[in-house]
Amino acid sequence: ERIRWWESAPPPPGRLVVVGHFWRRFMGEIRAGQQNFTPSGPDMFPGYRPEQLLGPGKGVMCVDFAVGVRFEERGKGLPEGALGTNLGALRLPERALHLADGRVLKVS
């Protein structure tokens, strides 16, 4: 079971913890008719934008944007990203999220 540990056990002030394995998705970009597809259970990041730091101290960033779900997108005949997936890299110290689709998002 996945838990939102960053809500109750944030890192010390001034530290940034970068994690994966939570299949964070771009929920607002899921193609119509696919919103009920939950490959890893319920959304772990309700109320957070994909580029937003997590937890009360804003000290955690999840950079796993469910690129493994692209297998499902291909199987359903959907274009990449239709299920809210993306491939990203976090650039530090700039705190910029570079996405495979060419977007660069400021992490805040």
On whether the CB atoms of residues 58 and 38 are closer than 8 A, the answer is no
Q: Is the pTM of this model over 0.85?
A: yes
On whether the CB atoms of residues 33 and 9 are closer than 8 A, the answer is no
For each successive 10 residues of the chain (108 residues), what is the average pLDDT? 90 94 89 82 88 95 92 91 93 96 96
Q: What is the pLDDT of residue 9?
A: 92
Q: What is the pLDDT of residue 7?
A: 94
Q: What is the pLDDT of residue 68?
A: 87
Sheet bearing 96-99, strands edge to edge: 88-91, 96-99, 104-106
Cα gap 36→49, rounded to integer Å: 19
Cα gap 72→98, rounded to integer Å: 23
* DSSP class of 84: S
Q: Which residue intervals of the chain are DSSP H helices?
A: 5-8, 70-75
